[in-house]
Amino acid sequence: MRTGTPAWRIVRCSAANAAADLRATYTWRTWLFGWLLRMLCQVVFFTLAGRTFSGAGHQRFLFLGNALTLCAIESMMVVASSAWERRAGTLPLLVAAPADVSWIFVGRSLQWLPSGCATSLAALLGLGPFFGVDWSPATAAVAAVLVAASAVGTYCFGLLLAALVLGASSWRNVASNVAYLGMMAVCGVEVPVGFWPLPVRVLAWSMPLTHELDALRALVDGGGAASVAPQALLGLAVGAAWLAGAVALLRAMADRGRRDGSIAFAI
C-alpha cells in the first residue's frame, strides 16, 4: 500500500530519525578520537605498506584510493542499520505504514553520508601534503564534490544489499564487510583496475567508487573538467541504477511480507 505522499517528504522525515541516530552514536570526542583517528591510521597504514612493497612511485595512488574509500566504508553501514529495523521490531510497523517503505529506507540511514564525507575529506586534505598531494582552494572544492558523489553512489549500492539481507539480518555485517573489502580490492584502490581479468574489471566498473576515484586522480594530476566530469557523472549514473534496483527490491520485500506475514519472523 502506497500513498501519494511525495518521496522527498518521506525521505526528509526519515532523515530526521537518521540525524537523531547519529547524535546517539557519536559525541564529538568519540567521533574525532575514536572513529576519525582510526580511519586516518588505516589510510597511513595501507599507504606506507604499499610504498614498502611497491616503491615510492605508488604512494600517491595508494593514498588517494584509501582516503576516498573511507566514505564508501561508512556508506556501507546502511546495510547494518537497515537490518536493525527488523531486530528492533520496527520493520512490521514501517511496512504497515501508508508511506512507501522504499523511501523510508532511503532516508533512514543517511546519517552515514555526512560522517563518511567528513572522514574522507579529513584524510585527503589533512594527510595529503605528507604524501605528495597538495590542494588549492579550487581543487579542494572539487574533491569535496567527488567525495560526496562517492558516498552517495556507494550508499545506493548498499541500499540494494540491505534489501537483500533484510530477510536474513544476521548476515548484515558479513554483507557490508565483504562488499567494502571487495571494493578495496577491485575498484582501483590498492591496484589499478587494469590489473584484473576482464570479468573482474566489469564488476569494478559497476561500482560508483571506481569512477569517482578515476575522477579524483584525474583532478590531482591536473586534469580539467573534460577529464574529471565524465567519470564523476558516470559514477553518479551507476549509483542511480543501484538506487532504482534497491527501491524495486524494497517494495517487493514489503509486498511479499504483507502477503505471507514473513516480515516479522526472519532473523
Q: What is the pTM of this model?
A: 0.92
| Long-range contacts of the stretch 230-235 (C-beta < 8 A, 24+) | 232/145, 232/146, 232/149, 235/149, 235/150, 235/153, 235/208, 235/209, 235/210, 235/211
Report domain extents, the chain.
7-264
- Note whether 194 and 201 are within 8 A (CB): yes
Measured from the Cβ of residue 206, the count of other Cβ atoms closer than 10 Å reads 14
Give the mean model confidence (pLDDT) for residues 150-179.
90
Round to whole Å and give the CA distance between 133 and 59.
10
- Note whether 237 and 156 are within 8 A (CB): no
Encoded amino acid at 152, one letter: V
**What would the grid cell of residue 110 be?**
543517511
- Note whether 147 and 73 are within 8 A (CB): no
Percent of the chain surpassing pLDDT 70: 94
pLDDT of residue 86: 77
- CA 93, distance to chain mean position in Å, is 27
Tens of pLDDT, residue by residue over 147-161, are: 999 999 999 999 999
pLDDT of residue 1: 46
Q: Could you give the angle at the alpha carbon of 62 between the alpha carbons of 69 and 221, nearest 5°?
A: 95
**Could you tell me how many residues make up the chain?**
267
Round to whole Å and give the CA distance between 119 and 248.
31
